[in-house]
C-alpha cells in the first residue's frame, strides 16, 4: 500500500510539474504569436509604402 501511495505522490508531482511547463509554454507562444503578428503588420506597411525593397543576390548595389 505504501508503494502505491509513493507512486501516486510521484505521479501527482510529475503532472503538476508538466502542467506548469505547459502553462509557461502557452504564455511564451502567445507572446511570440503577437510578435510575429506585429512584424507581419510592420512588413505589410513597409511594403505598401515601397520602402521595404528586397535586394536579390545577383543585383548590383546602387554605388556601382
- For residue range 6-59, what is the model confidence (pLDDT) as tens digits? 999 999 999 999 999 999 999 999 999 999 999 999 999 988 887 655 656 666
pTM of the model: 0.62
> Residue 60's pLDDT is what?
67
Mention every residue, 6+ apart, whose C-beta is less than 8 A from residue 52.
43, 46
The answer on pLDDT for 62 being more than 60 is yes
Residue 47 is predicted with a pLDDT of: 85
* In contact, 52 and 43? CB cutoff 8 Å: yes
Q: What is the pLDDT of residue 48?
A: 86
Coil vs helix vs strand at 14: helix
- CA–CA distances in Å: residue 58 to residues 9, 13, 34, 42: 63, 58, 34, 26
Amino acid at each position: 500500500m505504501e508503494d502505491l501511495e509513493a507512486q501516486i505522490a510521484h505521479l501527482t508531482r510529475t503532472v503538476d510539474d508538466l502542467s506548469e511547463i505547459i502553462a509557461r509554454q502557452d504564455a511564451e507562444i502567445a507572446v511570440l504569436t503577437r510578435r510575429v503578428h506585429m512584424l507581419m503588420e510592420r512588413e505589410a506597411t513597409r511594403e505598401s509604402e515601397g520602402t521595404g525593397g528586397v535586394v536579390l543576390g545577383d543585383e548590383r548595389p546602387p554605388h556601382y
